[in-house]
């Protein structure tokens, strides 16, 4: 079996919301600028005792409960993130402990910027195949509010906190992927464990609108499908204008693109999972639907995966 089936998804976001108007009280910005340039209205930030491990654990808990599997059968846990609570131990190890999963498993974190969830899917599939695993657990989780310089308006309005998870099993079904890395250190980076995100916004924008359509084309072709046969395009939620530009380039209606950037901002490695969970929870995804997930980010990294629901 070389495919992956998603049995269930879950998500968890911090209670505290931060509106564009809230940010306009901290830096020189406005609701109008943020909405017009990004499509974002609110994002969630951790407060009080909330942390990365909590978000990741709660999202995973929901996915496991919804999947109705025996958690003892989970054999691999991957957390995709660039903002875990600790430099070490990994978030995946803490999730294993919090959920009381069995001990003879692999649990590790993967950092690929906003492409994290796609890199995570590719990695967990390979590990599950190698280990002949019954079930795998993938989580995308970020607490980017701790990684932002709240005096830098070019980044502090963009990112949010949240987590999404999925329980996976190997299947004979559809799975194709396109993954890439370009060895760039400058476009987007957090250079030290306690450092802040720096981003060349325009450079990232140009990179995304040039790269993503090619990656989508390659992934759809590899799957032996046409764009029309893809039911849902679930793209990294970095900027509504980027999503609209890509929809135009692949000549597909916006209705096929899941958009929730207005509610969460850019949640990096959690964003594709959050969008997937939202569409699934709303009953928009039907059995047999073809889903294309695609992301891009720091590294420079990119990736797309096509699966059947």
Which residues lie near ligand ACO (CB under 6 A)?
29, 33, 37-38, 113-114, 153-154, 157, 188, 201-202, 204-205, 208, 238-239, 242, 266, 268, 297-298
- CB of residue 223 vs ligand ACO: minimum separation in angstroms? 25
Nearer to ligand ACO, 246 or 298 (CB): 298
Which residue number, 52 or 66, has a Cβ lying nearer to ligand ACO? 52
Three-class secondary structure assignment of the chain: CCEEEEEEEEEECCCCEEEHHHHHCCCCCCHHHHHHHHCCCEEECCCCCCCHHHHHHHHHHHHHHHHCCCHHHEEEEEEECCCCCCCCCCHHHHHHHHHCCCCCCEEEEECECECHHHHHHHHHHHHHHHHCCCEEEEEEEEEHHHHCCCCCHHHHCCECEEEEEEEEEEECCCEEEEEEECCCCCCEECCCCCCCCEECHHHHHHHHHHHHHHHHHHHHHHCCCCHHHCCEEEECCCCHHHHHHHHHHCCCCHHHECCCHHHHCECHHHHHHHHHHHHHHCCCCCCCCEEEEEEEECCCEEEEEEEEC
Q: Shortest approach of ligand ACO to residue 55 CB, angstroms?
A: 17
Would you say 6 or 40 has its CB closer to ligand ACO?
40
**Residue 127: CB minimum distance to ligand ACO, A:** 24
Q: Which is nearer to ligand ACO, 160 or 297 (CB)?
A: 297
Q: Least distance from C-beta 33 to ligand ACO, angstroms?
A: 4
Euclidean distance between CA atoms 244 and 302, whole angstroms: 18
Instruction: Kindly tell me which of 9 and 38 has the beta carbon lying closer to ligand ACO.
Output: 38
Nearest to residue 197, comparing CAs of 279, 135, 263, 114? Answer: 114
Pairwise CA distance, residues 243 & 38, whole Å: 10
* Token pair recorded at residue 138: 């993938």
Tokens of residue 270, six digits: 């959690």
CA 139 to each of CA 73, 95, 114, 256: distance values in angstroms, whole numbers, following the listed order = 17, 10, 13, 24
In the numeric block, which tokens belong to residue 113? 């910027």
Instruction: Decide whether 115 or 133 has the Cβ nearer to ligand ACO.
Output: 115
Shortest Å, Cβ 164 to ligand ACO: 16
- Work out how close the CB of 2 gets to ligand ACO at its nearest, in angstroms, rounded to a whole number: 29
Catalytic residues: 114, 236, 266
């Amino acid at each position: 079996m070389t495919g992956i089936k998603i049995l269930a998804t879950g998500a968890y976001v911090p209670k505290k919301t931060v509106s564009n108007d809230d940010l306009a009280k901290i830096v020189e910005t406005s609701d109008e600028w943020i909405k017009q340039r990004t499509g974002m209205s609110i994002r969630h930030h951790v407060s009080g005792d909330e942390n990365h491990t909590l978000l990741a654990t709660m999202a995973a808990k929901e996915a496991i409960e919804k999947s109705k599997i025996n958690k003892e059968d989970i054999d691999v846990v991957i957390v995709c993130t660039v903002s875990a609570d600790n430099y070490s131990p990994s978030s995946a190890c803490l999730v294993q402990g919090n959920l009381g999963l069995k001990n003879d498993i692999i649990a590790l974190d993967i950092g690929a910027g906003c492409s994290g969830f796609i890199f995570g899917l590719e990695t967990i599939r390979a590990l599950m195949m190698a280990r002949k695993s019954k079930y795998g657990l993938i989580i995308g989780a970020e607490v980017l509010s701790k990684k932002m310089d709240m005096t830098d308006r070019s980044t502090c309005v963009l990112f949010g906190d949240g987590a999404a998870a999925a329980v996976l099993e190997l299947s004979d079904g559809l799975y194709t992927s396109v993954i890439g890395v370009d060895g760039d250190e400058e476009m987007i980076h957090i250079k030290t464990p306690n450092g802040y995100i720096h981003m060349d916004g325009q450079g990232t924008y140009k990179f995304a609108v040039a790269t993503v359509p090619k990656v989508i084309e390659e992934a759809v072709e590899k799957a032996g499908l046409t764009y029309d046969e893809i039911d849902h395009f679930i793209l990294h939620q970095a900027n509504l204008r980027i999503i609209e530009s890509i929809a135009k380039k692949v000549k597909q209606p916006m209705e096929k693109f899941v958009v929730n950037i207005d509610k969460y901002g850019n949640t990096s490695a959690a964003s594709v999972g959050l969008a997937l969970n939202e569409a699934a929870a709303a009953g928009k995804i039907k059995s047999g639907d073809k889903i294309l997930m695609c992301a891009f980010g720091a590294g420079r990294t990119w990736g797309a995966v096509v699966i059947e629901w």
